[in-house]
């Protein structure tokens, strides 16, 4: 739908805008709900939340662009799924993009495990977890905003690889560091670089996929990302319990660096990809 609303030359900016509004809502939503709850009571707080949700449902009706894809022959569900999977597998960029996301996430998933890291790395409790979450969220917003500037660079594949490599290096720093103030900075950079790579990957999918296959390509990306998150949460959590959070992040960072270098070397389509913004 996004590609029908904005010109292709502005797709990267549109994806960044979509992501940053979602991130701002994630940060501001709980704070606003708590304020309404404290000042006006639980019933009014939920009433306001319901009203805003209904407004969010109604606003897309004002979009004038058609959400229908270009005319294609009718297909069975199985045929459509097969066609989408084959398209992704034969695409010069998407297999590497999805593998990069899947491989790095499995060995470096950390967000839901901040309570473990706060306790093991910094000997802190709930307050440490809260600060780590906040630093990561702020970094994510900054990273998404940085994509507006990065959109002018044509070598978007190199940007994805470079941001992922920086992310991996700071994972190593996260595992080695024991200073809480410095840890907040590191976690902020992790959020920033992760957000940049996510936004750029989403933009590349939008820019390189035909309209009639975009939904299927995006679904495969979402499936890969969610699978990696779930597997990564289990893997990182178990490894942290066995060898410690610091060693887990250190190993994850080293493996992520190696994974980026392997993708750079064996899948040249990503580093060679260019898209000139008009």
Per-residue pLDDT of the chain (278 residues; tens, 9 = 90+): 666 677 666 667 777 777 777 777 777 777 788 888 888 888 898 999 899 889 988 887 877 766 565 555 566 777 777 877 888 788 878 888 888 888 888 888 888 788 888 888 888 888 888 889 889 988 988 988 888 777 777 788 888 899 999 999 999 999 999 999 999 999 999 999 998 888 888 888 877 777 777 778 878 878 878 888 888 888 888 888 899 888 999 999 999 999 999 988 888 888 888 776 55
Give the distance, in angstroms, between the CA of residue 81 and the centroid of all CA atoms in the same chain.
24
Residue 244: predicted pLDDT: 87
Helix, strand or coil for residue 131? helix
Q: What is the dihedral of CA 179, 183, 184, 190, to 10 degrees?
A: 170
Q: What is the DSSP letter of 249?
A: H
Question: What gap in Å lies between CA 25 and CA 30, rounded to an integer?
Answer: 8
Q: Between vectors from CA 271 to CA 267 and to CA 275, what angle results, nearest 5°?
A: 125
Residue 99: predicted pLDDT: 85
Query: What pTM was estimated for this model as a whole?
Result: 0.80
Question: What gap in Å lies between CA 40 and CA 146, rounded to an integer?
Answer: 37
Q: What is the DSSP letter of 127?
A: H
Question: What gap in Å lies between CA 72 and CA 211, rounded to an integer?
Answer: 11
Question: What gap in Å lies between CA 46 and CA 43, rounded to an integer?
Answer: 5
Residues 6 or more apart whose CB falls under 8 angstroms from that of 227 comprise: 102
CATH superfamily of 2-272: MFS general substrate transporter like domains (1.20.1250.20)
Give 54-57 contacts, CB < 8 A, sequence gap 24+: none
Which tokens is 220 given? 């495969």
Half-sphere exposure of 235 (CA within 13 A, CB side): 17
Question: What gap in Å lies between CA 64 and CA 4, rounded to an integer?
Answer: 10
Half-sphere exposure of 39 (CA within 13 A, CB side): 7
Residue whose pair of structure tokens reads 């009639």 in the numeric block:
212
Residue 277: predicted pLDDT: 57
Residue 7: predicted pLDDT: 66
Helix, strand or coil for residue 194? helix
Residue 75: predicted pLDDT: 65
DSSP string, 108-120: H--GGGHHHHHHH
Helix, strand or coil for residue 82? helix
Element (H, E) at 15: helix 11-40
Q: Is the dihedral of CA 213, 214, 220, 224 positive or negative?
A: positive
Residue 1: predicted pLDDT: 61
């Amino acid at each position: 739908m996004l590609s029908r609303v904005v010109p292709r030359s502005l797709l990267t900016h549109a994806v960044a805008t979509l992501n940053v509004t979602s991130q701002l809502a994630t940060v501001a939503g709980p704070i606003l709900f708590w304020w309404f709850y404290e000042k006006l009571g639980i019933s009014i707080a939920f009433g306001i939340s319901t009203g805003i949700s209904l407004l969010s449902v109604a606003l897309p009706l004002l979009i004038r662009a058609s959400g229908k894809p270009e005319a294609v022959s009718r297909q069975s569900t199985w045929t459509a799924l097969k066609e989408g999977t084959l398209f992704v597998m034969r695409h010069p960029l998407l297999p590497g993009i999805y593998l990069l996301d899947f491989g790095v996430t499995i060995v470096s998933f950390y967000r839901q495990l901040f309570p473990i890291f706060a306790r093991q790395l910094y000997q802190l409790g709930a307050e440490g977890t809260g600060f780590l979450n906040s630093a990561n969220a702020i970094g994510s917003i900054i990273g998404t905003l940085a994509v507006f500037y990065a959109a002018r660079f044509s070598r978007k594949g190199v940007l994805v690889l470079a941001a992922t490599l920086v992310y991996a290096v700071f994972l190593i720093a996260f595992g080695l560091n024991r200073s809480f103030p410095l840890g907040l900075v590191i976690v902020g950079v992790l959020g920033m670089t992760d957000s940049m790579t996510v936004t750029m990957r989403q933009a590349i999918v939008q820019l390189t996929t035909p309209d009639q296959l975009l939904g299927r390509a995006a679904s495969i990306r979402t499936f890969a990302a969610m699978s990696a998150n779930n597997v990564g949460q289990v893997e990182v959590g178990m490894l942290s319990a066995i060898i410690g959070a610091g060693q887990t992040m250190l190993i994850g960072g080293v493996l992520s660096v190696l994974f980026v270098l392997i993708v750079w070397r064996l899948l040249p389509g990503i580093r060679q990809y260019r898209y000139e913004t008009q």
